[in-house]
């Protein structure tokens, strides 16, 4: 009986730890230039294809959030970014929680290109609420509007 209880408890701790790891696993980037933020159009999965997101992805083992943001922006946009802050609201996704970091283009860095998305657009505070965001990213519309306002 005691052994069964202990092993149930160990399983609960393990799954809580796994949930925490999963919850740390995804970052998104609010890349800001000239009072606009970069929105990127997803190509996958089918449920999200055509919708717009803040670019990002899974954090790899041993990476910090900021490392992951820089790497994802290189891979997806072919550009160099500098992380300069974080939005207060986390996004809820199936895998757990996605944290949104704010960033700007590195001086003299290449212009972002849609290497893994079907399109890119710079959106102003006035345009942010009207963008067809993926469901999770809708949660930061108000934060983005605040971020972009003078």
Residues that bind ligand 523 in the complex, under the rule CB under 6 A: 26, 28, 53-54, 56-58, 93-95, 98, 134, 136-137
Nearer of residues 90 and 137 to ligand 523, judged by Cβ: 137
Query: Which among 36, 50, 101 is positioned nearest to 71, based on CA atoms?
Result: 101
Tell the smallest beta-carbon distance from residue 80 to ligand 523 (Å). Answer: 18
Q: Which residue stretches of the chain are H helix?
A: 2-23, 65-77, 141-148
CB 128 within 8 A of CB 141: yes
Nearer of residues 59 and 105 to ligand 523, judged by Cβ: 59
Nearer of residues 7 and 64 to ligand 523, judged by Cβ: 64
The encoded tokens of residue 50 equal 């055509």
Tell the smallest beta-carbon distance from residue 125 to ligand 523 (Å). Answer: 18
């Amino acid at each position: 009986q005691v052994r069964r209880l202990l092993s149930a408890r160990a399983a609960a701790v393990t799954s809580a730890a796994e949930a925490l790891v999963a919850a740390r696993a995804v970052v998104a980037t609010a890349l800001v230039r000239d009072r606009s933020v970069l929105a990127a159009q997803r190509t996958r999965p089918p449920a999200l294809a055509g919708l717009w997101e803040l670019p990002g992805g899974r954090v790899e083992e041993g990476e910090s959030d900021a490392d992951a943001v820089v790497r994802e922006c290189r891979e997806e946009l072919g550009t160099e970014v500098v992380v300069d802050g974080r939005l207060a609201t986390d996004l809820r996704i199936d895998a757990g929680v996605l944290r949104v970091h704010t960033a700007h283009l590195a001086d003299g860095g290449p212009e972002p290109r849609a290497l893994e998305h079907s399109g890119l657009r710079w959106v102003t505070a006035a345009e942010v609420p009207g963008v067809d965001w993926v469901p999770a990213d809708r949660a930061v519309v108000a934060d983005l509007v605040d971020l972009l306002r003078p």
